[in-house]
Amino acid sequence: MGKEEIDNSPNKYLLLAETFDNPYKLPFLLEDICKLEADRSLRLALLRIQIESDLRMNENIQKYACQRYVAQVIEKLLFGELLLAWEEEESIEEIPPSSEGYD
């Protein structure tokens, strides 16, 4: 990306890039992130990051788990829900106790 392209990039994407480059800055950037306009292009960018992180998780689990977490936190803050949230089963069947003893 050239200097002109960076200068013309919307500030929201530069803020996101800074957050994804160093996920440990997220707590300090929350105020600025909460001021972002929650539009379709931003949500799609967050979804792309989540999908790419899931696909590359085996390459560097810590890096991509952090990126996925950051994208999910930002999406939840700005949009109130996650589009790619996996629903967990509400009820888990219990395994009945065995009648056989393990003496």
Structure tokens, 47: 């979804």
> Which of 71, 29, 66 has the alpha carbon at shortest distance from 48?
71
C-alpha 18/C-alpha 20 separation (Å) is: 6
Q: What's the pLDDT score for residue 99?
A: 59
The single-letter code of the amino acid at 46 is L
Mean pLDDT computed over 65-83: 94
- For residue 89, is pLDDT > 50? no
Q: What pTM does this model have? A: 0.72
Vertex 95 angle, CA 92 and 99, to 5°: 165
What would you measure as the largest C-alpha separation in the chain, in angstroms? 75
Mean pLDDT computed over 83-95: 60
Burial class (CB in 10 A: 0-12, 13-18, 19+), 26: middle
Structure tokens, 34: 């909460």
Please, what is the average pLDDT of the chain?
82
Q: What's the pLDDT score for residue 98?
A: 59
Mean pLDDT computed over 62-76: 95
Provide the pLDDT confidence category of residue 11 given band limits of 50, 70 and 90: confident
